[in-house]
Structures are given as C-alpha cells and as structure tokens.
C-alpha cells in the first residue's frame, strides 16, 4: 500500500519522507547488512594482512583529518576469523581510530574510519544529552552506557559508537547510536537495519547521526538525526527468515540558511502510516533501563530542537577552537 504524500508546512517540517524512507523493508542499493544475505561486494578489496590493513586505514584517516574526503567506510574481503580476532581484541588491536564489523560466513570485514575529533565530540554530546536526563531522574544506575563494546548478532560482530543496556542485562544493549559523515549516510541506514533485524537481536532502537563535517560551517544541512525501531513482524510468506523489519520512526534535520540555524522534523505515525511534523525526539525510558517510566519524576528521554541546535553550535565551537573552521 502506498503511503500518503504529505506536503510539508512552511514552518517546522523537513521535506516529506517518501514511501522508500518509511517502508519497513527499505532496500539499500549495493549494501549488505546483518540479518540479510550477503551478495557480491564489488567495492571491497582483498585483506592482505595487518600491515596492509593499517596502511589503507591510515591513508583514509589522514584524508579525513585533512578534510579531503568524507568517505569513512572501507570493506575487505577474505579476512579470516582469526585475523579479525587480532584486529578487534583489546590486547592486540593495532588501531584505535577504526570501528569494525565482521560477517563470519563470507569473511567480510567492514571498517568505519573515525574522522577524528568531530566524531568523538558528536558522540559525546549526544551521549551527554541522554545521560544527564537519566541522572536527573536518578535511574542512571539502572543502565550501563557503553562505548564501542564488541557485540555478536547472529553471523555478525559489530561495534557501536555508544550504546545503553539495562543493568540487569549488561551484555545486551537495547539502544544503539551510530555516527557518521555525510558519505556514510546510506551506510548508517544499513547499520540501523542490521542492529534491529539480526536474529535474536536485543536492540530495540537505533539512533543514526550524519554530520557534514567537511563543510560544517557552510553546508545548508549540516546535521541529520534519525531514530529507527523494530516494526511489525513479517508475514509467513516473506522470505527473509521472518525477521522483524526496521522502521524509521523519526527524522530531524538541522538547517543553515542565510547564516541562521533552524530545525525541522517528523515522526512516523504508525497508525495513520503518515509522517507528522514534530518538535522533539521522544525515546521511551524503557529503551535504556528495561522498564517503563512509572515513578514520580520519571519520563521518557526527550531531545528537543534546542538540544539539536546546541549540538551543532558546540561542534562548531570545538572546531573553531581547533582552528579548522572554514
């Protein structure tokens, strides 16, 4: 069934999300994800040992640092599980500026190269927005905030940028954040599907954030944030192992028009199956502590438009202090 096309009001909303955006089975051309079959990967290079891996990753890191590219994602084929274990283990890991994903059956190694301080600062600011609310409600001890733990999901091994897990289930994150550059925006949606659609995945929500770090001061859409959740179960005639599909439930853009920052966004009304203009991102408390808000003073986590403007302004200020503003 086609989703209604909703025309954005003149104030407060982004361009309408399309049927492709909101469909629980959104395909992504040329990409593979956890929970889905791995096809041909023409954009991969052969893994040829740790030193070659480091050379390739370092060149990409240097280009990112010098703002010569916004390409973060590298893919290596024919990386054995033993080689991946060496690359990912805490005591033998040769590089701290990459995050890894590994698909055991096909020996596919997906590498996200960190572009440096922008990535770290953005992850920190988003984490701060959420953690300060958990602390204010005195529920912060009911969950763990984890940076890049190694998580196994079916045939995949993945490392998020940051995640939260209930204290009673510390190895099973329920909310995950993936941060990327503009180049990796498509890959971020792949990551969201992967976290949510992998068999027996404990993840209930994924927050993806895309930052135009190469031209953050001048780009008209420097930051985009989306929330993805598990949708309804698929019918028995579906061929994708009856996995629960991922649905993008909210989408917000920060705009830089005529030198002025503004925010617009939607949430997806699951009953009406239409995008609805929204002023804030609402994240159920259950995603973080494993139970609903029930005690005095408890509430869902809320990220407002002002919060998103604050994030972009802080990122710009950090960049100015580092002397990289353009």
Spatial distance between the Cα atoms of 277 and 182, rounded to a whole number of angstroms = 24
Tokens of 84: 């991946």
pLDDT tens-digit series, residues 285-304: 999 999 999 999 999 999 99
Tokens of 208: 């993806």
Section 172-188 average pLDDT? 87
> At residue 284, does pLDDT exceed 90?
yes
Lowest mean pLDDT among 137-141, 270-274, 319-323: 270-274
Lowest mean pLDDT among 22-36, 113-127, 150-164, 298-312: 22-36
Spatial distance between the Cα atoms of 228 and 226, rounded to a whole number of angstroms = 7
> At residue 24, does pLDDT exceed 60?
no
- Residue 325: per-residue pLDDT: 58
Q: Which residues of 142-152 are buried (b: 16+ CB within 10 A; e: fewer)?
A: bbbbbeeeebe
pLDDT tens-digit series, residues 204-252: 999 999 999 888 999 999 999 999 999 764 433 333 444 568 999 999 9
Spatial distance between the Cα atoms of 262 and 256, rounded to a whole number of angstroms = 7
Spatial distance between the Cα atoms of 7 and 67, rounded to a whole number of angstroms = 36
Q: What is the per-residue DSSP string for 57-85?
A: HHHHHHHHHTTS----EEEEES--HHHHH
If you average pLDDT over every residue of the chain, what do you get? 84
Give me the percent of the chain exceeding a pLDDT of 90. 65
- Residue 225: per-residue pLDDT: 97
Q: Which domains does the chain have, with CATH numbers?
A: 19-30+115-322 (3.90.1570.20)
Strands 73-77 and 45-46: parallel
Other CB atoms within 10 A of residue 294 CB: 7
Spatial distance between the Cα atoms of 17 and 5, rounded to a whole number of angstroms = 8
- Residue 183: per-residue pLDDT: 64
Lowest mean pLDDT among 87-91, 131-135, 248-252: 87-91
């Amino acid at each position: 069934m086609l989703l209604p096309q909703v025309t954005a009001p003149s104030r407060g909303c982004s361009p309408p999300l399309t049927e492709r955006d909101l469909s629980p089975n959104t395909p992504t051309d040329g990409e593979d994800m956890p929970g889905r079959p791995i096809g041909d990967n023409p954009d991969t290079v052969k893994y040829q040992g740790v030193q070659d891996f480091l050379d390739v990753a370092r060149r990409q890191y240097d280009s990112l640092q010098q703002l010569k590219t916004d390409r973060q994602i590298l893919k290596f084929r024919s990386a054995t599980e033993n080689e991946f274990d060496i690359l990912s283990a805490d005591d033998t890991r040769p590089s701290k500026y990459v995050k890894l994903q590994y698909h055991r059956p096909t020996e596919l190694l997906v590498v996200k190269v960190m572009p440096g301080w922008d990535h770290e600062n953005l992850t920190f600011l988003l984490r701060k927005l959420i953690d300060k609310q958990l602390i204010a409600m005195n529920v912060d001890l009911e969950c763990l905030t984890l940076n890049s733990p190694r998580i196994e999901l079916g045939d995949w091994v993945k490392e998020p940028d940051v995640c939260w897990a209930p204290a009673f289930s510390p190895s099973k994150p329920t909310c995950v954040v993936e941060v990327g550059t503009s180049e990796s925006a498509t890959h971020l949606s792949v990551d969201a599907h992967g976290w949510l659609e992998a068999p027996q995945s404990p993840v209930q929500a994924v927050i993806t954030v895309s930052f135009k770090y190469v031209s953050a001061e001048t780009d008209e859409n420097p930051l985009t944030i989306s929330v993805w959740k598990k949708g309804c179960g698929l019918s028995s005639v579906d061929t994708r192992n009856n996995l629960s599909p991922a649905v993008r439930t909210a989408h917000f853009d920060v705009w830089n028009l005529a030198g002025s920052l503004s925010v617009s966004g939607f949430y997806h009304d699951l009953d009406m199956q239409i995008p609805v203009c929204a002023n804030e991102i609402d994240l159920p408390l259950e995603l973080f502590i494993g139970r609903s808000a029930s005690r005095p003073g408890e509430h869902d986590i809320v990220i407002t438009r002002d919060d998103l403007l604050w994030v972009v302004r802080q990122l710009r200020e950090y960049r100015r202090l580092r002397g990289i503003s353009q």
